[in-house]
Chains A and B, each alone.
Chain A
């Protein structure tokens, strides 16, 4: 665990993150640019859905990010609770709005995709429903974190919540799939299009990486921001004593 504790030092983190940040930004722009180009122009058109299928290149990576962020939060929450790692705690706080935003993006793009496909703006298929429940888990975390006057209490309480929620995610997913198979008519609806051809796989992966670099870049900025906010709060506490 020495590696982790080396990065607990805020000043060291600030220096390291300033060095990495421009590279991450460049990588993000490259992958995002090429991914979008392939997604919107150069990849094949689905014979059934036409150009609408291109929403998949945003929708699917966004849904992956929704789960990726929650997993990252769970790991960081465990580290912050077990080893009392200050930076891990900030990482959980910083990830939540990003994860919630990607979840929301997945829901909106899913809905936009659904309208031409099934004629309605919302449909209760298993995947969309699971993502909706995940969205509530994110909102619950952010609400709990902010509900305490003592920030340390809010941090620890919400960390436990993330872990409890994480244990429940497979159960929720399973139960929603179960519910969906019981209630869906026989036709099979597949949201990630036909079998993934490499022409479609590449832009999908590019967009997935683009989103991950975006996440990393925003995280670096937000963690630095939170470290500075902590410093300001500490100074204000000292002001109250004097």
Chain B
């Protein structure tokens, strides 16, 4: 476990020294949501109706934009192959990196969401469910995104390619997350959707470190 804490500390330190990255992710999130009233008109009821979906799609896209840097710099400066060669298991290293990525991407998105919910006229009563869905869903974005980031390392147009690969896999997250918010607003419980989302999170926790580590070993073997 001490290996995990070493890599965690390193990732947190790196993230703190490159803190503008998080602001850019939040900036994109806000701009993407703000575009919608310009696109579909400012009528409050309609914005409220599409609000949860718009916020979640924007969160998805913002997360995808930030995924590329997860492994890219380490790959380019030679750190990645040394991480593969270190005694610390690669799966653990991936977990640490994904966790810090979530801290610097997912958490800022969760914190910004209430502001956007306000602008999209989403009713207050839906906010707790919305935040719960983001809390459960954003880690999945980082986990599945990590698989894509590892697979696309060194590819041409890696950033766009990564989104193309990962977004179809994230459709269930979108469905369950927005489903929870809509179900709550319509009077039914959000519990079923949130439980399904939790199930997806557990599945991603099991699959992503293993698949990403395999992809990373394959990337440094070339």
> Chain A interface (Cβ within 8 Å of chain B)?
133, 136-137, 139-140, 143-144, 147-150, 152-154, 156-158, 160-161, 163-165, 167-168, 171-172, 174-176, 178-179, 182
Q: When the two chains form their complex, are residues B179 and A178 in contact, meaning their CB atoms are under 8 A apart? A: yes
Q: A153-B222, A156-B218 are in contact. Are A175 and B172 (CB under 8 A)?
A: yes
> Chain B interface (Cβ within 8 Å of chain A)?
147, 151-152, 154-158, 161, 164-165, 167-169, 171-172, 175-176, 179, 182-183, 196, 200, 203, 207, 211, 214-215, 218-219, 222
Residues in B with CB closer than 8 Å to A161 are 151, 165
Provide the bound-state CA to CA distance between A22 and B155, in Å: 40
A-B contact list, 25 entries, CB within 8 Å: A133-B168, A136-B164, A136-B168, A144-B161, A147-B152, A148-B156, A150-B222, A154-B155, A157-B155, A157-B215, A157-B219, A160-B211, A160-B215, A164-B207, A165-B169, A168-B172, A171-B200, A171-B203, A172-B168, A175-B172, A175-B175, A175-B196, A176-B175, A178-B179, A182-B183
Q: A157-B215, A160-B218 are in contact. Are A147 and B176 (CB under 8 A)?
A: no
Provide the bound-state CA to CA distance between A57 and B167, in Å: 32
Given contacts A157-B152, A157-B218, A182-B182, 14 further A-B contacts (CB under 8 A): A144-B161, A149-B156, A153-B154, A153-B219, A154-B155, A156-B218, A157-B219, A160-B151, A164-B207, A164-B211, A171-B172, A172-B168, A172-B172, A178-B176
Q: When the two chains form their complex, are residues B171 and A172 in contact, meaning their CB atoms are under 8 A apart? A: yes
Q: Which of B164, B183, B214 contacts A140 (CB 8 A)?
A: B164
Residues in B with CB closer than 8 Å to A158 are 151
Provide the bound-state CA to CA distance between A168 and B207, in Å: 10
Question: Which B residue sits closest to A149, measured CB to CB?
Answer: B156
The 6 closest A-B pairs by CB, nearest first: A175-B172, A147-B155, A136-B168, A140-B165, A179-B175, A175-B175
Q: Which of A144, A149, A156, A164 contacts B169 (CB 8 A)?
A: A164
Provide the bound-state CA to CA distance between A122 and B23, in Å: 39
Residues in A with CB closer than 8 Å to B214 are 160
Provide the bound-state CA to CA distance between A133 and B172, in Å: 11
Q: When the two chains form their complex, are residues A157 and B179 in contact, meaning their CB atoms are under 8 A apart? A: no
Q: A148-B155, A153-B218, A157-B218 are in contact. Are A137 and B168 (CB under 8 A)?
A: yes
Residues in A with CB closer than 8 Å to B222 are 150, 152-153
Provide the bound-state CA to CA distance between A171 and B147, in Å: 17
Residues in A with CB closer than 8 Å to B207 are 164, 167
Residues in B with CB closer than 8 Å to A163 are 211
Question: Smallest Cβ distance from A170 to chain B, in angstroms?
Answer: 10
Q: A137-B168, A160-B211, A164-B211 are in contact. Are A144 and B176 (CB under 8 A)?
A: no
Of listed B147, B167, B211, B218, residue having the most chain A CB within 10 A: B218
Question: Smallest Cβ distance from A184 to chain B, in angstroms?
Answer: 13
Residues in A with CB closer than 8 Å to B161 are 143-144, 147
Provide the bound-state CA to CA distance between A165 and B151, in Å: 12
Question: Smallest Cβ distance from A48 to chain B, in angstroms?
Answer: 31
Q: A160-B151, A161-B151, A171-B200 are in contact. Are A144 and B165 (CB under 8 A)?
A: yes
Residues in A with CB closer than 8 Å to B151 are 144, 157-158, 160-161
Residues in B with CB closer than 8 Å to A149 are 156
Q: When the two chains form their complex, are residues B175 and A144 in contact, meaning their CB atoms are under 8 A apart? A: no
Provide the bound-state CA to CA distance between A150 and B168, in Å: 26
Question: Smallest Cβ distance from A13 to chain B, in angstroms?
Answer: 26
Question: Smallest Cβ distance from B69 to chain A, in angstroms?
Answer: 18
